[in-house]
Structure 1
Amino acid sequence: MNNRRNILIANDDGIQSPGIVRLAEAASNFGDVWVVAPEGQCSGMSQKLTIFNELNAMRRDFPSAVKGAYAISGTPADCVKVALKSLMPAAPDVVFSGINAGYNAGYDIAYSGTIGAAMEAVLHGIPAIAFSESHDGCHEVTDKYLCAIMEELIDQPLYGEIWNVNFPGCPKAGFRGIIRDVEPAPNFFFDNDYNSAEEKNGYVLTPYARLLGPDDAPRGSDVWAVLNGYIAIGRIRNMVYRIVGL
């Protein structure tokens, strides 16, 4: 922990999220922390960028000691790009995204603003790690193992890929271990659908979702892992990254 780094933290739940505070506190063990996060909830935005509108970057007080904290009137990917281009005096050594309130596993990875922020870092040649946990479950496993996993992965930087870490929502007594190099499940984490109500000129569609059970995903996949008490650590490749040497 003597090798101090320059660390940028973003998320998609907004700068007010308890998860980003816990992530910043853990990250402070490894370097100087900057927090640049959306001013409000931005889940499901993937790697969307703001192109045609101005962005506001407002200084914010932050509960833990950081070098600077800003709320951005844009997306999670905007936060990373603005931080790199305009706010930080030097490029970060690593970007942490999260801790997301809700798993980013299976097909849901494609929609995630948490993942999108990490992927934006990859496009700028900066290693990134995404952290997620249960939306409404127990966070005992996260709090016990976050720093250890952070220390492990920060010394294994990826280029063209990100580390994706999901913590199970079980108590410590139900924790079963860590599965590394886990593959995304070939299904959504939630069984999503819409309730439809017809109106004069069309329909009102209300989304709803059913959470999958422990046996609804392939054994050993990321969804199966977190639903069965495991920490899931996997790699996700950026879709436009060119493999060096090819």
Structure 2
Amino acid sequence: MRIMVVNDDGIESDGIRRLAGMAAELGEVWVVAPRHQCSAMSHCITVRGSLHVKEENFPVPGVKAYSVDGTPADCVKVGIKYLLPQKPDIVFSGINCGYNVGADILYSGTVGAAMEALLNGIPAIAFSEERGGSGAAADTHLLPVVRKLLSMEIGKDEIWNVNFPGCPPEELQGIRENRIPDRIPFFMDDYRVEEREDKSFCLFVSGKAAQTAGKGTDMEAVLERYISIGKIRNEVLGSRSDG
């Protein structure tokens, strides 16, 4: 199996190293990732100018890795069209530092990269975990979760979306499948205002994490310390197949 690994946190992130290490147990791995942090890029692509591509030393033996001075979706495009000798069999995107649940998936560069794979006819799985968590749930369950998902059918207009809570292993409650995205974002916008002498003002942006969630949603699962597994549909591809 030929696997392309991408993310939105950058080529040097801990999450992509761990994901590539797991992927290496399943087949041939190519890493193509942004040179810099690209969170919340969604499906943004570069349409003018240039993309600087550089081969990188990657801390997983046997893995070929490149950085791209572009967005996560750019990385998928460049990997498919210029770097890999043949199309990958699957794209793994992540492990993102921070949940991609609820309405936040609309902004996610992790999900955007997975959707770009889908547009090129390649199945994809997006992985995320709680920001600031231990990472133990992902490290323990990543490989068995992936093996299970690879054995399951999914529509050509859908990706898998997997989120790991950041609790210690002994506090993990299990796995919840068939989770639907909540209608609200996990991080609610919070702005701190600073007035300026010229009568303008500056907004300092942060987010307040949700404390409650809808029944049956991805957000409910992670808040209750379950691994959340669900599908996200690409409406463009879905409408094409429906019509």
TM-score, normalising length from structure 1? 0.94
Report the RMSD for the aligned CA atoms in angstroms. Answer: 1.2
1:120 to 110, 116, 123: 116
Does structure 1 residue 194 correspond to structure 2 residue 191? Answer: yes
Shift of 1:245: 6.1
Whole-angstrom CA distance in 1 between matches of 2:222 and 2:171: 11
Deviations along 1:94-137, one digit per CA (max 9) or x if unpaired, are: 00000001000001000000000000000000000000001101
1:70-81 alignment, distance < 5 Å = 70-81=66-77
1:154-193 alignment, distance < 5 Å = 154-156=150-152, 158=154, 159-193=156-190
84-93 vs 200-209, greater mean Cα deviation: 200-209
Unpaired stretches in structure 1, ≥5 consecutive residues: none
Shift of 1:243: 4.7
Size of the aligned set, in residue pairs, is: 240
1:50 to 16, 24, 46: 46
Whole-angstrom CA distance in 2 between matches of 1:61 and 1:168: 30
Conserved in 2, the CA contact under 8 Å of 1:195 and 1:207?
yes
Q: Which amino acid aligns with 2:117?
A: A
SS in 2 for 1:131: strand
SS in 2 for 1:181: strand
Conserved in 2, the CA contact under 8 Å of 1:34 and 1:66?
no
Whole-angstrom CA distance in 2 between matches of 1:98 and 1:154: 17
- Percent identity between the two aligned chains: 48
Once superposed, which parts of structure 1, at least 4 consecutive aligned residues long, lie more than 4 Å away?
none
Deviations along 1:189-208, one digit per CA (max 9) or x if unpaired, are: 01212122233163211112
Shift of 1:239: 2.3
1:1-246 alignment, distance < 5 Å = 5-156=1-152, 158=154, 159-199=156-196, 200=198, 202-213=200-211, 216-241=212-237, 242-244=239-241, 246=243
SS in 1 for 2:38: coil
Conserved in 1, the CA contact under 8 Å of 2:129 and 2:163?
yes
Q: Which amino acid aligns with 1:223?
A: M
SS in 1 for 2:149: helix
Change (3 A) 1:219 1:245: closer
Whole-angstrom CA distance in 1 between matches of 2:76 and 2:152: 21
Deviations along 1:10-38, one digit per CA (max 9) or x if unpaired, are: 00000000100000010111110000000
TM-score, normalising length from structure 2? 0.95
